[in-house]
Structure 1
Amino acid sequence: MAPTLPALLCLGLSVGLRTQVQAETLPKPTIWAEPGSVVPCGSSVTIWCQGALNAKSFSLNQEGISAPWNTQPLLKPWDKANFSTLNIKEHQAGRYRCSYFIGFNWSEPSDPLELLVAGEEPAGQSGTRSCRGLTGPLRDRPSLSARPGPSVAPGENVTLLCQSGNRTDTFLLSQEGAAHRPLRLRAQDQGGRFQAEFSLSPVSSAHGGTYRCYRALSTDSYLVSRPSEPLALLVSDYTVQNLIRMGLAASVLLLLGVLLCQARHDRKEARDAARS
């Protein structure tokens, strides 16, 4: 029996709606790493992917690796999932993207996350096999300094200088707790000493914090050296500081004046009592 016109219309509408759903473009998710995107070799890291509500599945892809890592969200509102790695190894350094699945579609991939593996191993794991490749040309840590100094006022300019006496192709500057990826600059050879100048200008309160820098070679830009010693950059308003100092000084002077007046008063009462 030939299908009736209403049945054909319903079938066409159903197919049309399904095609529209399948063709829908989902917004790309957000990807980040905890505790950060620079991970000491041999330690653990968790990569998070957050998409739309009620996602059915999440997928994590490492650039150059064909097999994705799939997982499902664990908690409502089912909009994010995590991928955890213990004892991270050198080959896990690289560029990652994630996607999520809803209905009939996979979302657009996220912006890339550059996961950097550093040559500093966690306490108690020195010499682990997975980290031996980072104990050669990237063993030595660079130095980090601030010019004109580590304490500046908002609006001023400051330069963080990374230096190393060992061959270096690029330097990376990382701010502790910052959401953005580490800054990367090509190293300049200054008579056998390599350096890079990271200019922060004009400085704002967001620039305040703890910084470290790393060395990297062009053979594998995702493997970095041990970090420099931390540098604390203090961004403070000198005007406010001076007002506070002046207020404290005035309070001290006032207190001294009160104590001096009290002492004079006590001496006068003692003389009057002696005369009587």
Structure 2
Amino acid sequence: MLTEFLSLLCLGLSLGFADEKKNETLPKPSLSALSSLVVGHGGNVTLRCQSHFQNVTFTLGKLQDSGYRQEQRSTGHKAEFLLTHLEPKDAGMYFCTYKTMDSQEWSGESDYLQLEVKDDLDGRGATEVKN
């Protein structure tokens, strides 16, 4: 009877541990630019998102535009998002998140990167922010 009790106790503890692991939040990823974050009108920039895990799905988002989302699966620890033919409207704060293949939950957002697109027409740096 004591061995049955100990077996059930161990089973309960291990199930509780599994539940705890499920509710753990994923560490936030890092986001960096492979070149300058100040880009001329029509220019390109590559943003790299990195996580501590392999085999993840990354998303790139824009703070001022909830409809903006690029998604990319990666077998490694990182994904690179190429932003091309940039215009002043593309300027803003970018972030990335990820989820592992085992999880349906997304990580927290990376720190934000401020992308500036210079408007060559008037020579000023234009950073458009949508409300």
TM bracket (short chain)? 0.7 to 0.9
- Looking at CA atoms only, which structure, 1 or 2, has the larger radius of gyration? 1
Q: How many residues align?
A: 121
Measured in 1, the distance between the counterparts of 2:55 and 2:107 equals 10
Aligned equivalents of 1:119, 1:101: Cα separation in 2: 36
Q: Indicate the residue corresponding to 1:97 in structure 2.
A: 95
More helix by share: 1
Is structure 2 residue 77 aligned with structure 1 residue 79? yes
Runs of 4+ in 1 over 4 A off after TM superposition: 4-9
CA distance in 2, matches of 1:24, 1:40: 42
Cα distance in 2 for partners of 1:48, 1:94 equals: 16
1:27 counterpart = 2:41: no
Gaps of 5+ in 1: 121-134, 141-214, 224-276
CA distance in 2, matches of 1:37, 1:19: 41
Structure whose residues are more often strand by fraction = 2
Alignment of 1:184-223 (within 5 A): 215=124, 222-223=127-128
Instruction: Return closer, same or farther for 1:106/1:35 CA change in 2, 3 Å cut-off.
Output: same
Structure with larger RCO (C-alpha < 8 A, sep 6+): 2
SS of aligned partner of 2:22: helix
Q: Which amino acid in the other structure matches residue 119 of structure 1?
A: D
Partner Cα separation in structure 1 for residue 57 and residue 118 of structure 2: 31
State the Cα deviation string for residues 153-195 of structure 1 (Å, max 9, x = none). Answer: xxxxxxxxxxxxxxxxxxxxxxxxxxxxxxxxxxxxxxxxxxx
CA RMSD of aligned residues (A): 2.6
For residues 36 and 53 of structure 1, what CA distance do their matches in structure 2 show? 27
Tell me, which stretches of 5 or more residues in structure 2 are unaligned? none
Q: Secondary structure at the match of 2:65?
A: coil
The 3 A distance-change label for structure 1 pair 110 and 12 is same
